[in-house]
Chain A
Amino acid sequence: MNAYGKTSAPAASAPAIELVGIDKRFGAVHANKAVHLTVERGSIHGIVGENGAGKSTLMSIVYGFYEADAGEIRVGGRPMAIRSSADAIRAGIGMVHQHFMLVEPLSVLDNVMLGAEGGALLEKGEAQARRELARLEREYNLVVDPDAIVGELSVGLQQRVEILKALYRGADILILDEPTAVLTPAEASALFSLLRALKEQGKTVILITHKLNEIMAVTDRVSVMRRGEMVATLPTAETSPPALAELMVGRRVLLRVEKKEHVPGDVALAVEGLSVVDERNCLRVADVSFAVRAGEIVGIAGVAGNGQSELLEAIAGMRRPTLGRIALDGRALDPAEHGPRTLRRLGLLHVPEDRLRTGLVPAFEAFESAALGFADDPAYGKGALFDRQAMVADLAAKMEAYDVRPRDPRLRTSKFSGGNQQKIVLAREIERDPRVLLVGQPTRGVDIGAIEFIHRRLVALRDAGVAILLVSVELEEIMSLSDRILVMCGGRITGERRPHETDERDLGLLMAGVTERAA
């Protein structure tokens, strides 16, 4: 059972990483249940699973963020005690996080060297890093200007810098956590060619994702996790997206939303000539006009950071537009008077893009987060003090209706998985009978089972006559939910399409700012 005595050199065929009986609990939550995983050297190994299935915990254990309660990690056949990310780096494991860990005002070279400067004076280390970067560029065709400032690079290039950082530290095993969440389709396929090149050179790649088509496109083997357990590991060639989805959820799932033809009503939300300038005086939204009718889902596609967030915030009253008009049910809104509170009362509700930074207060108990924006509701208590029992009961009922797990309104918000947090936000907004619903990235970091649920709710809401403005970077989501698609690039609307008369390529061009449609 104990293999610590064994220190013989690893066989050439030893797997890159072996996890044996990894077990981890967080209080009552059993995040990893005796997980076994073998990742072959020189392969691309996908790990899929719903949110809260334990894949992030597992990778955090491999990377030394958490320590397992029981079990063993073997790297190249040798048992390793990985207690910190420094241990992981020493063992040749590199990680590319979903949220980049880069210092934006510094150059690519500085970022790559960070933490591996090699002495008090930079000169020597810099020269070495420059040589090493040139080598990596030759070997993997990883072209990045070492002197470029990271903050000025595109998201795709920033991700390359993260990968370079890991390789510079001698990583043989690269873990990527949801790497395509912020990329355009073109950037994503560039990333996949890079991963294949890494594999050719004998590196091992572990890819955590919830996008099954990526698993199919790039991995050699795929492991599926469900509720803390490793339920299957399969050669990718022998499986299919529906089969994987079923393994993940434990039942059959519909990957596409069924919906009736829509019957649009009157214009519920009208935006005219809207421009937004941000805190740094950059023009984020430039002269945008559109209308959303009752009973219609209008989707806004675009690569993250092209003004969609600012547009949503301006409509929701969180940000003052510089120019332009917004009208709700034909009534012009005055930004000075119509803040988020007033707009909520007028029936404009908002599921924000970032549930942790905006939509919830992670440190609060769930029932307090579920009152965000509605704290002045008399149902939550008269006078200055809250009626906490009423608040708890209110959320308990919503948790039942939205199948939030665990069904504990007193649990701290941060302890729910992403999908369940999102359901809390949705329940809070939808159950207030919106006239207009703004929805930002409704399924970001949300598991497949919950995605299906959320999509069906949104379609049901549209069928009930709600005007929905949907912003998402997931093209599939935009195409399957929207009745009309607007594409944003650089703060402008670069095109409008009907979902059945467009495809990913067409939208991808618009997202990249190519407005002329090939005749």
Chain B
Amino acid sequence: MSAPIELPKWADVVLVPLVSVTAAFVVAGLVVLSIGENPVEATRLLLAGSLGSGEGLGFTLYYATDFIFTGLAVAVAYHAGLFNIGGEGQATVAGIGAALVCLYLDFLPGVLLLPLGILGAAAFGAAWGFVPGWLQARRGSHVVITTIMFNFIAATLIVHLVVNVIGEPGLTETRAFAAKATIPYVHELLAPLGIALPTSPLNLTFLLALAASYGIWLLVYRSRLGYAIRTVGANPGAAVYAGISPARVIMIAMALSGALAGGLAVNEIMGVQHRLLLEFTSSYGFVGIAVALMGRSHPGGVVLAAVLFGILYQGGAELAFETPTITRDMVVVIGGVVILFAGALEGLFRRLVARGLGVLRRVRAAAPRRAAAEG
């Protein structure tokens, strides 16, 4: 048992993540060094590839969009004391929801079709999150176990649907959606205004992700529902005492979590691929766990962490392309190191930072005394 580590808020929010990221880059640098490449050059390539060009930036923010949604999904569940690792499955099923709307309701005008498609994704994702929530609340089946299982079920369900039911014969995807059923790209949207941006998959879903972040912040920290969610997560005994039903809150939080994971499907299916295809989630549902951990489950933190992961994904791809010895797998290792340091080992640096601040305070307290003694 050890005492809880108390830090000033600025250190908690800024200093600790900064130290974590720096340590991650140092260790990742050692990995790069060990295969005989220059870590400084690698870092330069990574940053230039992700932030140095309009195209790179577009890709970075496109990735960040996915990570914001899956990060928020994990964060909301976490506030209710739940560890939702089913973002992958929820996003998959949400993709089916979006595709059903976009494929079969495309007689509707675009202004109706797009919101309906987004709602379809959210509703299907919510349903896929709700069932494990219900099982947890009413049957006591642990949500970690059930959400993993639901990932497998979702993965199989989409194969069956696409291959046997709604897909193009002989292909593992559906037909392309009508143009009005797709969310506009940012570069397309800005072109008529005379702003020429390089082509990138960045689409308006990014704004939706930012809006969702603000909405979730409002919900969690400012609303009555968020109060109930946080009470259940922080102190279930107090929730029962207050007359808040933990079972009800668990089901709501899981449904909300699933709906947010659906944002990944909106970005990928309606924003970029414009058709339903297999494995469009690319494990980004799991990345959301690291994003939420690093963002400390605060929507603002989630956005920042999502952008950082966007930089890693996009910059990493460029790095692998430019430096043949640094393979894709190597980039995954570097990403893993960052997740390890920023997420899992956060406690390590909290202790370190607390010690450092303590020493600093003592030195500062001793300085005037010394000056007085000398003077």
**Contact of B240 with A by CB under 8 A:** yes
Q: Are B223 and A375 in contact (CB under 8 A)?
A: no
Contact of A372 among B222, B231, B358 (CB under 8 A): B231
The minimal Cβ–Cβ distance linking A278 to chain B, given in whole angstroms, is 14
Contact bitstring B307-342, A, C-beta under 8 A = 1, else 0:
000000000000000000000000000000000000
A/B interface sample: 27 pairs, CB < 8 A: A60-B3, A65-B1, A65-B3, A69-B362, A318-B240, A340-B241, A342-B243, A350-B241, A352-B241, A354-B237, A357-B238, A358-B235, A358-B237, A359-B241, A360-B235, A361-B234, A364-B230, A368-B227, A372-B238, A373-B243, A375-B228, A376-B224, A384-B224, A385-B218, A385-B224, A386-B223, A386-B227
The minimal Cβ–Cβ distance linking A87 to chain B, given in whole angstroms, is 13
Bound-complex Cα distance A283 to B349 (A): 48
CB-based nearest A residue for B358: A69
The minimal Cβ–Cβ distance linking A34 to chain B, given in whole angstroms, is 13
Contact bitstring B227-269, A, C-beta under 8 A = 1, else 0:
1101100110110111110000000000000000000000000
CB-based nearest B residue for A376: B224
Interface of A with B (CB < 8 Å)?
26-27, 60, 65-67, 69-70, 84-85, 101, 316-318, 339-342, 344, 350, 352, 354, 357-364, 368, 371-373, 375-376, 381, 384-386, 388
The minimal Cβ–Cβ distance linking B17 to chain A, given in whole angstroms, is 20
What residues of chain A lie closer than 8 Å to B368, measured between beta carbons?
Answer: none
What residues of chain A lie closer than 8 Å to B242, measured between beta carbons?
Answer: 340-341, 372-373, 375
Q: Other CB < 8 Å A-B pairs besides A26-B6, A85-B1, A317-B243, 12 of them?
A: A69-B358, A84-B2, A358-B240, A361-B230, A361-B235, A364-B230, A371-B227, A375-B227, A375-B228, A381-B224, A386-B224, A386-B227
Bound-complex Cα distance A493 to B315 (A): 72
Q: Are A66 and B3 in contact (CB under 8 A)?
A: yes
Contact bitstring B208-229, A, C-beta under 8 A = 1, else 0:
0000000000100011110110
**Contact of B138 with A by CB under 8 A:** no
**Contact of B194 with A by CB under 8 A:** no
Bound-complex Cα distance A340 to B244 (A): 8
**Contact of B170 with A by CB under 8 A:** no
**8 Å CB interface, B334-375 against A:** 358, 361-362
Bound-complex Cα distance A372 to B218 (A): 19
**Contact of B109 with A by CB under 8 A:** no
What residues of chain B lie closer than 8 Å to A373, measured between beta carbons?
Answer: 241-243
Q: Contacts A27-B6, A85-B1 known; A340 to B234 CB distance under 8 Å?
A: no
Contact of B225 among A26, A381, A384 (CB under 8 A): A384
Q: Which 8 A-B pairs have the closest CB atoms?
A: A341-B243, A340-B243, A373-B242, A363-B234, A357-B237, A358-B237, A361-B235, A358-B241
Bound-complex Cα distance A385 to B223 (A): 4
**Contact of B8 with A by CB under 8 A:** yes
Q: Are B240 and A340 in contact (CB under 8 A)?
A: yes
What residues of chain A lie closer than 8 Å to B223, measured between beta carbons?
Answer: 384-386
**8 Å CB interface, B54-86 against A:** none
The minimal Cβ–Cβ distance linking A363 to chain B, given in whole angstroms, is 5
Contact of B241 among A70, A101, A318 (CB under 8 A): A318
CB-based nearest A residue for B232: A361
The minimal Cβ–Cβ distance linking B322 to chain A, given in whole angstroms, is 46
Q: Are A65 and B2 in contact (CB under 8 A)?
A: yes
CB-based nearest B residue for A381: B224
The minimal Cβ–Cβ distance linking B167 to chain A, given in whole angstroms, is 41
Q: Are B231 and A361 in contact (CB under 8 A)?
A: yes
What residues of chain B lie closer than 8 Å to A363, measured between beta carbons?
Answer: 234-235
Bound-complex Cα distance A85 to B1 (A): 9
CB-based nearest B residue for A65: B3
Q: Contacts A70-B362, A357-B235 known; A316 to B241 CB distance under 8 Å?
A: yes
Q: Contacts A364-B234, A385-B218 known; A339 to B227 CB distance under 8 Å?
A: no
CB-based nearest B residue for A66: B3
The minimal Cβ–Cβ distance linking B233 to chain A, given in whole angstroms, is 9
Bound-complex Cα distance A179 to B237 (A): 25
Bound-complex Cα distance A66 to B1 (A): 11
Q: Are B243 and A359 in contact (CB under 8 A)?
A: no
Q: Contacts A70-B362, A385-B223, A386-B227 known; A372 to B241 CB distance under 8 Å?
A: yes
What residues of chain B lie closer than 8 Å to A386, measured between beta carbons?
Answer: 222-224, 227
Bound-complex Cα distance A340 to B362 (A): 50
The minimal Cβ–Cβ distance linking B5 to chain A, given in whole angstroms, is 11
Bound-complex Cα distance A14 to B240 (A): 53
What residues of chain B lie closer than 8 Å to A85, measured between beta carbons?
Answer: 1
The minimal Cβ–Cβ distance linking B75 to chain A, given in whole angstroms, is 15
Bound-complex Cα distance A342 to B242 (A): 10
CB-based nearest B residue for A316: B241
The minimal Cβ–Cβ distance linking B41 to chain A, given in whole angstroms, is 42
Q: Are B222 and A358 in contact (CB under 8 A)?
A: no
The minimal Cβ–Cβ distance linking B163 to chain A, given in whole angstroms, is 43
Bound-complex Cα distance A241 to B168 (A): 88
What residues of chain B lie closer than 8 Å to A364, measured between beta carbons?
Answer: 230-231, 234
CB-based nearest B residue for A85: B1
Contact bitstring B180-222, A, C-beta under 8 A = 1, else 0:
0000000000000000000000000000000000000010001
Q: Are B235 and A362 in contact (CB under 8 A)?
A: yes
What residues of chain A lie closer than 8 Å to B230, measured between beta carbons?
Answer: 361, 364
What residues of chain B lie closer than 8 Å to A342, measured between beta carbons?
Answer: 243
Bound-complex Cα distance A66 to B4 (A): 9
What residues of chain A lie closer than 8 Å to B218, measured between beta carbons?
Answer: 385
What residues of chain A lie closer than 8 Å to B228, measured between beta carbons?
Answer: 375
CB-based nearest B residue for A350: B241
Bound-complex Cα distance A340 to B228 (A): 14
Bound-complex Cα distance A194 to B184 (A): 79
What residues of chain B lie closer than 8 Å to A368, measured between beta carbons?
Answer: 227
The minimal Cβ–Cβ distance linking A373 to chain B, given in whole angstroms, is 4
The minimal Cβ–Cβ distance linking B351 to chain A, given in whole angstroms, is 11
Bound-complex Cα distance A388 to B221 (A): 10
The minimal Cβ–Cβ distance linking A440 to chain B, given in whole angstroms, is 11
What residues of chain A lie closer than 8 Å to B6, measured between beta carbons?
Answer: 26-27
Bound-complex Cα distance A29 to B336 (A): 40
The minimal Cβ–Cβ distance linking B100 to chain A, given in whole angstroms, is 30
What residues of chain A lie closer than 8 Å to B225, measured between beta carbons?
Answer: 384
Bound-complex Cα distance A339 to B242 (A): 9
What residues of chain A lie closer than 8 Å to B240, measured between beta carbons?
Answer: 318, 340, 358
Q: Are A359 and B358 in contact (CB under 8 A)?
A: no
CB-based nearest B residue for A356: B235
CB-based nearest A residue for B222: A385
CB-based nearest A residue for B242: A373
Bound-complex Cα distance A344 to B225 (A): 19
Bound-complex Cα distance A27 to B237 (A): 29
Interface-centre pick from B3, B6, B224 (highest chain A CB count, 10 A): B224
The minimal Cβ–Cβ distance linking B226 to chain A, given in whole angstroms, is 9
What residues of chain B lie closer than 8 Å to A354, measured between beta carbons?
Answer: 237
Interface-centre pick from A66, A85, A357, A372 (highest chain B CB count, 10 A): A372
Q: Are A339 and B238 in contact (CB under 8 A)?
A: no
What residues of chain B lie closer than 8 Å to A318, measured between beta carbons?
Answer: 240-241
CB-based nearest A residue for B354: A67
Q: Are A358 and B238 in contact (CB under 8 A)?
A: yes
What residues of chain B lie closer than 8 Å to A375, measured between beta carbons?
Answer: 224, 227-228, 242, 244
Contact of B238 among A65, A101, A317, A361 (CB under 8 A): A361
What residues of chain A lie closer than 8 Å to B222, measured between beta carbons?
Answer: 385-386, 388
Q: Are A344 and B243 in contact (CB under 8 A)?
A: yes
Bound-complex Cα distance A373 to B228 (A): 10
The minimal Cβ–Cβ distance linking B270 to chain A, given in whole angstroms, is 28
Bound-complex Cα distance A334 to B223 (A): 30
CB-based nearest B residue for A97: B1
Q: Are A69 and B361 in contact (CB under 8 A)?
A: yes
Interface-centre pick from B1, B243, B358, B361 (highest chain A CB count, 10 A): B243
The minimal Cβ–Cβ distance linking A20 to chain B, given in whole angstroms, is 17
Bound-complex Cα distance A65 to B6 (A): 13
Bound-complex Cα distance A359 to B240 (A): 10
The minimal Cβ–Cβ distance linking B84 to chain A, given in whole angstroms, is 20
CB-based nearest B residue for A101: B1
